[in-house]
Structure 1
Amino acid sequence: MNTQVPEAAVPAHNSRQHLLGLDGVRGLAILMVMIGHFIVVGKHLDYKVDGQRFFTSGYLGVDLFFVLSGFLITGILIDAKGTPGYFKVFYIRRALRIFPLYYGLLALGWLSVIFITPGDKQVLTGHNSMAWYWLYASNIGMAVKGGWLASPTWLGLGHFWSLAVEEQFYLVWPLIVMLLPVKWLQRLCVALVISSPIIHAILQNQIGLLATYVSTLNRLGVLAAGAWLAIMWRNPDGWKQVTRWLVPVTGFFGIILLIERIFVIYPLASCESFIMIFFGAGCVGLAANGDGAISRFIFESRMLRWLGKYSYGIYVYHHALKPVWMHFFWRGWIVPTIGSGWPGTFTYMACATVASLLLAWLSWKFFESPILSLKSRFTYRSRQR
């Protein structure tokens, strides 16, 4: 990871290229997250038991999202560096993509507390205040409280910590990309990757396991790995060297990760976040390369690309509406008729998945897409000469 990128190198790629494989990476990530959240409904799995541990791996999909985010956001910023409205255009375009759905759900949650379930008013004040969510600081709120924040009865907001990490990354990274020459940005990314186990250990010792898990500082390694890939992807010679190592690195760390997730091997488990940096970066690199068999047959598959297209809505809705799925599907129908065993669990997974996908599709078509069309009014212009 020490290949130098000449400042004046002619980019081999740029952020205007739409890579089908990256949609597939999003699709794989959201599929992992959904399975991980839905499969635990029957409480049949114990992550401390060999074999069962593998099926509790859905949260690793979040790391995959972070690597992809580091790749895409850094690429956009590098390509836009030096253009008029660098900050303004970036933040407006990000706001159009992220804010409507996020704040729309928060508004529904706030209104439900006021008018439907006034007994939930504890989520409006104190440690559980929804203000943490409104400020994209729920991960900080969890650290202050020392536990998960409470959510309204009909809305689960716990998974919004990852969106807080993203927004905090957006708050700082554009300035860093603007100020640093590419070669120093590359070195910073390498330093963040290498130091990530140390940062993780220090955080866990100082603030505890949960606060570390949701901390933005703890996720700098995966974000930086994606950022490093974005830099290399824009340099023909550098990317040529990267592609030689994509398959062996992804394969090696994928096997290590698989062993760690199947068997309860605590020394490996303690290195899981570091392992995921390289496996996630390998997946994104293979998808970005675009011309390999792995990208064509896995990441460019129609199913994963479809999931990837609607992944943001799926991510927001599938867990935000877990109380609804549990009330109507699990407790209202499945347990009384099928039972709470594995057949009932699989039925719940199917119902919750279909409902989440349908809602995300409707949301995209009638709510998100019309708003996203406004992005055409805010585009990066040519660099000033």
Structure 2
Amino acid sequence: MTIGRRNGWGMEADRIRGLDGIRAFAILGVFYTHFVDENSLLGDLAVRTFFILSAFLITGKLVALRDAEGFTFAALRSFYARRALRLLPTYYAMVLALAAIGLVTIRDGLFYHLAFLSNVWFAMAMNWNPWVLAHTWTLSVEWQFYLIWPLVVLNCANRSVALAAAGAIAIALAFWLGCYVAGYYPDNVVLWSPFSLDAFGMGALTFFYSGVLARTLRTRLIAALLPAALWSALQLVETDGRPPFLVVVDFLLQILPLLPMAILIAITASGTSPILNRILGARPLAYLGRISYGCYLYHFPMLWLMMHIMWQVFDYPLKRGIIELVVVAIPTIAFSALSWKFMERPIQKWGADRQKAAQAKITA
């Protein structure tokens, strides 16, 4: 597929129900890791899936915006306005609510969290305090990506954008290599943005090379080999405790799933697999994926709330396991559905109406 050719589904990709199904499985992976088994890799895989999917969709929208309007401050403002209306109101509502009840204070890095620097705070603090916001490091990394990537896409031709995406992957690999050479690898090192650039770069490249990634024969071969290699790497974790070796294993666990996830997203967005589309596009999964941002945002505060309710009302200490998964995930999903219906969706509609009104004035 020629880089200069744009995907036919670029601007509509975020409306494909199958992609919402991928989001649904990702949020379920986060739930499983945080509520059932903290050693599970499903949570890490889910986060990186969100990164790939986000970069895929954002790149498509930015390319369409650039082709329609060129690089203008109006185009840049339009992009950031849409992102802000989609993500900021619920985020700030949650953080400020937690601050109001004393769960997050200035000493806990409140200003870092408000500035989308949670990853910096947790990396420097060398701990997960306040734990009710521990998950927000991923949102901070994503916003830091948003600060740079629109400038690249809106200013460059597709070939240059693809090269920049490949460069982002190379930067991430260089940081991993640096850790290996230096023998320095604390658990918090992956919180820094450069370590996630490979996922964002892969998402952007997926937009440009979807036609290649969605080919059936190549898909089957790659999708079969890489998970097997991932599983082999998992087996090695228990056999050696040397820090340099752990860097290699952790690197493999991070990098190997990227291509299979890119292939899955490309196939789903292209609609070339009716069976896959039926599975991922099933209404319950699609709906869960649609509200997955709220599910991710609220799941730790909901865990705190349910722990207190279970202890004070039922005298039951909530512990990791299936019971915690059920007790916390169900109200999280319910609250997220309410948040979507009464806050997120109305705000998005208001923003869309304002944009249409502004465009009508320009064309009048």
What TM-score, normalized by structure 2, do the two folds share?
A: 0.85
Letter in 2 for 1:146: M
In the other structure, the counterpart of 2:60 is 75
Change (3 A) 1:110 1:289: same
Q: How many angstroms apart in 2 are the aligned matches of 1:351 and 1:289?
A: 37
Q: How many angstroms apart in 2 are the aligned matches of 1:197 and 1:330?
A: 45
Considering only aligned residues, what root-mean-square deviation do their CA atoms show, in Å?
Answer: 2.9
Q: How many angstroms apart in 2 are the aligned matches of 1:89 and 1:171?
A: 14
In the other structure, the counterpart of 1:61 is 46
Q: Is the 8 A contact 1:147 1:210 kept in 2?
A: no
Letter in 1 for 2:301: A
Q: How many angstroms apart in 1 are the aligned matches of 2:234 and 2:288?
A: 24
Change (3 A) 1:334 1:356: farther
1:141 lines up with 2:121 in the alignment:
yes
Kindly state the Cα deviation for residue 276 of structure 1 after the two structures are TM-superposed. Answer: 2.3
Q: Is the 8 A contact 2:214 2:270 kept in 1?
A: no
In the other structure, the counterpart of 2:200 is 223
Q: Is the 8 A contact 2:168 2:198 kept in 1?
A: yes
1:24 lines up with 2:1 in the alignment:
no
Q: How many angstroms apart in 2 are the aligned matches of 1:276 and 1:219?
A: 13
What do residues 69-101 of structure 1 show as CA deviations (whole Å, max 9, x unaligned)? 110011110110051621011001101000011
In the other structure, the counterpart of 2:10 is 14
Q: How many angstroms apart in 2 are the aligned matches of 1:207 and 1:70?
A: 29
Change (3 A) 1:149 1:241: closer
Percent identity at matched positions?
A: 25
In the other structure, the counterpart of 2:174 is 198
In the other structure, the counterpart of 1:178 is 154
In the other structure, the counterpart of 2:304 is 323
Match of 1:12, SS state, is coil
Q: How many angstroms apart in 2 are the aligned matches of 1:207 and 1:131?
A: 29
In the other structure, the counterpart of 2:243 is none
1:243 lines up with 2:215 in the alignment:
yes
Letter in 2 for 1:27: A
Structure 1 counterpart of 2:109, from 129, 139, 144: 129
Kindly state the Cα deviation for residue 64 of structure 1 after the two structures are TM-superposed. Answer: 0.5
Q: Is the 8 A contact 1:243 1:289 kept in 2?
A: no
Q: Which has the higher contact order (CA 8 A, sep 6+)?
A: 1
Change (3 A) 1:10 1:322: closer
What do residues 294-323 of structure 1 show as CA deviations (whole Å, max 9, x unaligned)? 522432233321210110000011122221
Letter in 1 for 2:84: A
In the other structure, the counterpart of 2:85 is 96
**Structure 2: gaps of 5 or more residues:** 239-245
Greater mean deviation of Cα atoms: 101-110 or 78-87: 78-87
Aligned residue pairs, count:
344
1:107 lines up with 2:96 in the alignment:
yes
In the other structure, the counterpart of 2:3 is 5
Kindly state the Cα deviation for residue 178 of structure 1 after the two structures are TM-superposed. Answer: 1.5
Q: How many angstroms apart in 2 are the aligned matches of 1:257 and 1:381?
A: 49
1:349 lines up with 2:325 in the alignment:
yes
Letter in 2 for 1:216: S
Letter in 2 for 1:124: I
Q: How many angstroms apart in 2 are the aligned matches of 1:241 and 1:131?
A: 42
